[in-house]
């Protein structure tokens, strides 16, 4: 019986419905991970590759193996091409368009019954829908800050690069991220290349180095982290510049000057201005390059025209190579030196009481007796700090002679009751990049510790960590760069001003990214809520810098290398340029470019403020070919001494101040009146390896009646830890010679320690 027309109609409808769900030949619809199914055949390279991620080619490729490889990496779309290629993504990019399914007919390398795309054709499977992103365009609007698009430029033909700093963002490069990173570290020019490369530098780099311009359409590779926008192409950079610049480096007409002072006798490793206004220096003893070295010398600045009278030979008993020093708050302002190179010297405790005066020789010498007095632990490259209670914190170092780490702290005078040193896991974890850690008393009484690229705050009583601060920023290319030896930057605190309500700011300049010197300073206010670091670019790179606090509240930055790290033979390209850092100026405008020297000063160089406002520049022991052991001593005259103004003067009778007390001085001003006068207190420091231990600058409250001014001492030990300070009067910008004052007495009674007959006890 022939089928009825109705039956034929139903059959045709059923056939048509079934045929709509028939998959193209060679597609796979079973055995796939849950939710995965065939999507379509797509054209590859119509406007660029349509997947951002490729799995290595596989001659045994199957649809299942490609999907599994993508699913394991968290991707939701998989594509097969040329029978052996597998691609993954979460979107299709570059305006992907479909092709006839029959175009995807190349058998898979691992299964002849399955289709794996074809020439420039992809068999695409997905878990869920397939999102297709448009052909990428150049991002020219909505840019962060004052950035603007400046064209597509070529890399130079000589194989070099246009910009110096490369960041590879394999899966997350974008124009916005690249521009923000460059701007964060002070670079006003940026280029994006090959989709995943971000380059930072200066406009002058593009002007001087690039191979010229190219059509905008040539920079057509999608960004690895933003596939709807272009990030250059092969040897082509999508080029962006920051309008208005990011840094204002002042270039004043008056830059101050370097001046030769006197020839030296050794390369000093630790330099201290004593209250006798002479410079105490200690150097390697036993390991010195000079067979007749006694390890310690003192320079009388008033006698520099007579070499033999200027230098006074002193003596140490053990090797002070890479030790640490501070000035004690006792009546004699003794200089304490701890640690050293090897054996007993690593536990050495040495004391010197400055005596004599300018032009009058002293007779005191360094005192040391290991059998009577020594540290609990061996320490090479340690740091010391007088705490607010008057005791001495000693932290860090190694056991000597490039030995094992000593990740601990201890207190001097040593508390009774057996071993009292404390193990520090954070120093143990970051060895060997945390030597000479930065120690600073905060206005709360707590203690800031900076080491390698980390920082934290300690409780002053338990010495336990109470707050871990954000990591210290490094270089534009790496957060792993460091700030303490051997990466070696230099740290100080911003001046404190009466009434002392502003939070304290810590400033660290320079350092190294394991050989690539850093060109930035960073600041933080550790005790504000949600404390964060800010970054400020310097005009040049500088590892091993030295910073000296000046009486006007600024900081002189000198010495160092533009390449390498601290250590013998590990630095190169000396930085001969002096800089002035002014905290009173806005961020990005605090640095002035000063004068240059002809003397290379790198490893083991120091900068020390003198009583007349000059800065003593000493040392350099690089053991780098072509760079000598530098014994010449220079001084730097900051601009406030080279503008033709006469220095003011003052007299003072009371030099031992209690907290909150008031003391009169009589001033003689030559340029202005007391309405424009300032008074500053610069704490006594000992400097080694750019670490000026004890550094602090305070501008106290004062009032004047005629030429008689009354100064109010800082209110407590948290604002001003007990110790000796140089008191300066500033007539406008010009400082006086200083007078030494002691503030806060000697609460730890260090002047009565150690109680042995062969040690001088000046009293508290």
224-233 pLDDT tens trace:
999 899 999 9
How far is Cα 210 from Cα 153, in angstroms, rounded to an integer?
Answer: 7
169 shares its domain with 38: no
Please check whether residues 619 and 702 belong to one and the same domain.
no
Same domain, 117 and 163: no
Cβ within 8 Å of residue 75, ≥6 positions away:
53, 88, 89, 90
Average the pLDDT over 419-446 and give the result.
97
Range list of β-strands (E), 621-690 = 633-637, 649-652, 656-657, 662-668, 677-683, 686-688
Structure tokens at 396: 């860090």
Q: Is the dihedral of CA 681, 683, 684, 685 positive or negative?
A: negative
Distance CA 80, CA 60 (A): 12
Both tokens of 401, joined, read: 């002679």
For 660, the domain range is: 649-743
Q: Could you say which DSSP state residue 157 is in? A: T
669: left (phi over 0), alpha (psi -120 to 50) or beta: beta
User: Do residues 167 and 476 touch, judged by C-beta distance below 8 A?
Assistant: yes
Residues 348-353: contacts with CB within 8 Å, 24+ apart? 348/317, 348/318, 348/320, 348/323, 348/374, 348/375, 349/373, 349/374, 349/375, 349/412, 349/754, 350/316, 350/317, 350/318, 350/320, 351/759, 351/760, 352/280, 352/296, 352/314, 353/760, 353/762
Domain-ending residue, one of 641, 668, 698: 641
**Res 23: pLDDT:** 66
| In contact, 524 and 471? CB cutoff 8 Å | no
Which pLDDT does position 400 carry in this prediction? 85
Q: What is the pLDDT of residue 11?
A: 30
What is the C-alpha separation between 405 and 397, in angstroms, rounded?
6
Residue 12: pLDDT above 60?
A: no
Residue 13 confidence (pLDDT): 30
**How high is the pLDDT of residue 1?**
37
Q: Over range 523-531, report the average pLDDT.
A: 98
Say whether pLDDT at 702 is over 90: yes
For residue 248, pLDDT over 90 is answered with yes
> Coil, strand, or helix at residue 559?
coil
**Confidence (pLDDT) at 659:** 98
Given a contact cutoff of 8 angstroms between Cβ atoms, the answer to whether 344 and 401 are in contact is no
Tell me the pLDDT band of 286, cut-offs 50, 70 and 90.
confident
Same-domain check for residues 386 and 477: yes
Pairing relationship of beta strands 701-705 and 708-712 according to DSSP bridges: antiparallel
Residue 418 pLDDT more than 90?
Answer: no
Rounded to whole angstroms, how far apart are CA atoms 413 and 392?
7
pLDDT digits (tens, 9 = 90+) for 580-594: 999 999 999 999 999
Q: Which two tokens stand for residue 80?
A: 């097969």
Q: Where is pLDDT greater, at 726 or 245? A: 726
Q: What is residue 405's three-state secondary structure?
A: strand
- Please tell me the distance from the alpha carbon of residue 311 to that of residue 353, in angstroms, as a whole number: 17
Per-residue pLDDT, 79: 98
Q: What angle do CA 94, 228, 188 make, to 5 degrees?
A: 135
Strands 279-282 and 270-273: antiparallel
Q: Which residues of 708-723 are buried (b: 16+ CB within 10 A; e: fewer)?
A: ebebbbbeebbbbbbb
Residues 110 and 213 reside in one and the same domain: no
Other CB atoms within a 10 A radius of the CB of residue 492 amount to 25
Summarised one tens digit per residue, pLDDT across range 128-167 is 999 999 999 999 999 999 999 999 999 999 889 999 999 9
Answer yes or no: is 605 within a domain: yes
CA distance 577 to 571: 16
CATH code of the domain covering residue 699: 2.60.40.10
What pLDDT digit, counting tens, does each position of 658-686 carry? 999 999 999 999 999 999 999 999 999 99
Name the nearest CA neighbour of 607 among 169, 261, 138, 119: 261
The mean pLDDT value for 245-252 works out to 94
Kindly state the greatest CA–CA separation across the chain: 138
CB of 396 closer than 8 Å to CB of 435: yes
pTM summary value: 0.91
Residues written for the chain: 764
Q: Is residue 1 part of a domain?
A: no
SS3 561: strand
Tokens of 640: 């406030």
Q: Where does 20-129 have alpha helices with state H?
A: 63-72
Confidence of residue 22 (pLDDT cuts 50, 70, 90): low
| Cα–Cα distance measured from residue 333 to residue 278, given in angstroms and rounded to the nearest whole number | 13
User: How far is the C-alpha of 267 from the C-alpha of 301, rounded, in Å?
Assistant: 17
As a whole-number percent, the residues of the chain with pLDDT over 70 amount to 97
Q: 623 burial class (0-12, 13-18, 19+ CB within 10 angstroms)?
A: middle
Q: How many C-beta atoms lie closer than 10 Å to residue 323's C-beta? A: 29
Q: Indicate the DSSP class of residue 363.
A: -
Tell me the average pLDDT across 263-282.
Answer: 97
pLDDT at 642 over 90: yes
Whether 574 is in a domain gets the answer yes
What average pLDDT does range 35-39 have in this prediction?
96
Is residue 421 in a domain? yes
Residue 701 lies in a domain: yes
Contacts of 622 (CB under 8 A, 6+ apart): 561, 568, 569, 571, 600, 602, 603, 604
Which neighbouring-strand residues pair with 325?
337
Structural domain ending residue among the three candidates 215, 242, 269: 242
| pLDDT range class, residue 10, cuts 50, 70, 90 | very low
Please tell me the predicted confidence (pLDDT) of residue 6. Answer: 32
φ, ψ dihedrals at 285, nearest 5°? -125, 120
**Rounded Cα distance, 461 and 438, in Å:** 19
DSSP state of 218: G
Q: Is residue 748 part of a domain?
A: no
For 290-300, how does the pLDDT look when each residue is reduced to its tens digit (9 = 90+)?
A: 888 999 999 99
pLDDT band for position 289 (cuts 50, 70, 90): confident
The total number of structural domains that make up the chain: 4
Cα(540)–Cα(166) distance, integer angstroms:
18
Domain end (from 217, 242, 267): 242
User: Bigger pLDDT: 561 or 11?
Assistant: 561
| Residue 583 token pair | 């905290």
What 3-state DSSP class applies to 581?
Answer: strand
Query: What own/partner pairs with CB < 8 Å and gap ≥ 24 does 96-100 have?
Result: 96/42, 96/43, 96/44, 96/46, 96/50, 96/132, 96/133, 97/42, 97/43, 97/46, 98/40, 98/41, 98/42, 98/43, 99/41, 99/42, 99/43, 100/41
Cβ atoms of residues 385 and 351 within 8 Å = no
Beta strands per DSSP E along 610-738: 615-619, 633-637, 649-652, 656-657, 662-668, 677-683, 686-688, 691-693, 697-699, 701-705, 708-712, 723-731, 734-735
pLDDT of residue 2: 40
In this structure, are 178 and 278 located in the same domain? no
Residue 106 phi, psi dihedral angles, 5° rounding? -75, 125
Place of tokens 């140089």: 726
Q: Which pair of tokens denotes residue 88?
A: 């993954």
pLDDT tier for residue 17 given thresholds of 50, 70 and 90: very low
Question: Do 271 and 231 fall into the same domain?
Answer: no
Decide if 482 is inside a domain. Answer: yes
Rounded Cα distance between 455 and 529, Å, is: 15
If asked whether residues 532 and 627 sit together in one domain, one would say yes
| Nearest CA among 674, 722, 676, 720 for reference residue 698 | 720
- Whole-number mean pLDDT of the chain? 95
Is residue 543 located within the same domain as residue 464? yes
Residue range 75-111, pLDDT digits in tens: 999 999 999 999 999 999 989 999 999 999 999 999 9
Rounded to whole angstroms, the Cα distance separating 641 from 24 reads 88
Structure tokens at 529: 């809520």
Classify residue 67: in a domain, yes or no: yes
Same domain, 619 and 653: no
pLDDT tens per residue, range 39-59: 999 999 998 899 989 999 999
- Residues 155, 277, single domain; the answer is no
Domain co-membership, 284 together with 423: yes
- For residue 15, pLDDT over 70 is answered with no
């Amino acid at each position: 019986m022939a089928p009825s027309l109705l039956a034929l109609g139903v059959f045709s409808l059923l056939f048509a419905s079934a045929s709509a769900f028939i998959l193209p030949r060679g597609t796979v619809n079973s055995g796939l991970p849950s939710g995965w199914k065939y999507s379509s055949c797509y054209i590859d390279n119509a406007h660029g590759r349509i997947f951002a991620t490729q799995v290595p080619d596989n001659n045994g490729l199957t649809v299942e193996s490609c999907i599994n490889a993508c699913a394991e990496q968290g991707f939701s779309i998989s594509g097969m091409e040329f029978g052996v290629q597998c691609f993954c993504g979460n979107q299709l990019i570059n305006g992907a368009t479909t092709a006839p399914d029959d175009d995807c007919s190349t058998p898979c390398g691992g299964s002849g019954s399955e289709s794996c795309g074809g020439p420039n054709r992809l068999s695409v499977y997905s878990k869920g829908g397939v999102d297709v992103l448009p052909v990428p365009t150049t991002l020219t609007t909505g840019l962060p800050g004052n950035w603007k698009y400046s064209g597509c430029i070529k890399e130079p033909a000589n194989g070099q690069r246009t910009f110096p700093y490369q960041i590879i963002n394999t899966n997350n490069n974008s124009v916005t991220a690249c521009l923000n990173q460059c701007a964060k570290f002070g670079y006003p020019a940026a280029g994006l290349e090959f989709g995943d490369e971000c380059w930072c530098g200066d406009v002058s780099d593009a002007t001087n180095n690039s191979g010229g311009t190219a059509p905008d359409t040539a920079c057509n590779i999608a960004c690895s982290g933003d596939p709807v926008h272009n990030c250059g192409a092969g040897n082509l950079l999508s080029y962006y510049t920051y309008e208005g610049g990011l840094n204002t480096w002042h270039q004043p007409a008056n830059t101050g000057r370097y001046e030769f002072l006197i020839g030296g006798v050794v390369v000093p490793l630790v330099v201290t201005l004593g209250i006798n206004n002479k410079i105490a220096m200690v150097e390697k003893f036993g390991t010195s390059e000079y067979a007749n070295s006694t390890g310690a010398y003192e320079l009388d600045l008033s006698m520099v025209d007579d070499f033999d009278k200027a230098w006074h030979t002193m003596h140490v008993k053990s090797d002070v190579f890479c030790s640490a020093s501070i000035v004690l708050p006792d009546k004699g302002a003794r200089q304490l030196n701890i640690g050293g190179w090897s054996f007993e010297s690593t536990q050495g405790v040495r004391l010197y009481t400055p005596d004599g005066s300018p032009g009058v020789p002293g007779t005191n010498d360094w005192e040391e007796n290991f059998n009577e007095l020594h540290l609990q632990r061996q320490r090479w490259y340690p740091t010391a700090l007088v705490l607010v209670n008057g005791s001495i914190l000693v932290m860090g170092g190694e056991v000597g002679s490039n030995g094992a780490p000593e990740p601990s702290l201890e207190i001097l005078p040593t508390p009774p009751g057996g071993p009292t040193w404390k193990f520090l896991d954070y120093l143990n974890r970051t060895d060997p990049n945390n030597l000479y850690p930065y120690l600073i008393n905060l206005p709360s009484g707590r203690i800031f510790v900076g080491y390698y690229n980390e920082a934290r705050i300690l409780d002053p009583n338990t010495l336990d960590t109470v707050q871990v601060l954000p990591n210290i920023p490094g270089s534009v290319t790496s957060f792993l760069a460091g700030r303490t030896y051997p990466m070696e930057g230099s740290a100080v605190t911003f001046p404190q001003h009466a009434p002392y309500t502003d939070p304290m700011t810590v400033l660290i300049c320079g350092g190294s990214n394991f050989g690539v010197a850093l060109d930035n300073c960073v600041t933080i206010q550790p005790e504000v809520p949600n404390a964060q670091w800010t970054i400020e670019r310097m005009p040049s790179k500088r590892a091993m810098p030295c910073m000296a606090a000046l009486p006007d509240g600024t900081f002189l930055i000198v010495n160092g290398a533009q390449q390498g790290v601290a250590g013998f033979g590990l630095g190169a390209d000396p930085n001969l340029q002096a800089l002035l850092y002014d905290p009173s100026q806005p961020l990005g405008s605090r640095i002035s470019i000063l004068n240059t020297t002809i003397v290379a000063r790198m490893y083991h160089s120091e900068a020390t403020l003198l009583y007349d406002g000059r800065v003593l520049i000493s040392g350099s022991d690089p053991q780098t070919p072509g760079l000598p052991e530098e014994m010449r001593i220079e001084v730097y005259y900051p601009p406030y001494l080279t503008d033709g103004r006469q220095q003011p003067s003052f007299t003072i009778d009371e030099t031992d101040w209690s907290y909150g007390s008031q003391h009169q001085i009589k001033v003689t001003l030559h340029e202005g009146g007391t309405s424009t006068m300032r008074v500053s207190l610069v704490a006594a420091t000992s400097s080694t390896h750019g670490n000026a231990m004890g550094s602090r600058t305070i501008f106290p409250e004062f009032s004047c009646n005629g030429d008689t001014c009354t100064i109010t001492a800082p209110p407590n030990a948290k604002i001003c830890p007990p110790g000796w300070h140089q008191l300066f009067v500033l007539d406008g910008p010009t400082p006086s010679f200083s007078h030494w004052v002691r503030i806060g007495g000697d609460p730890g009674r260090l002047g009565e320690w150690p109680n042995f007959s062969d040690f001088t006890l000046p009293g508290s």
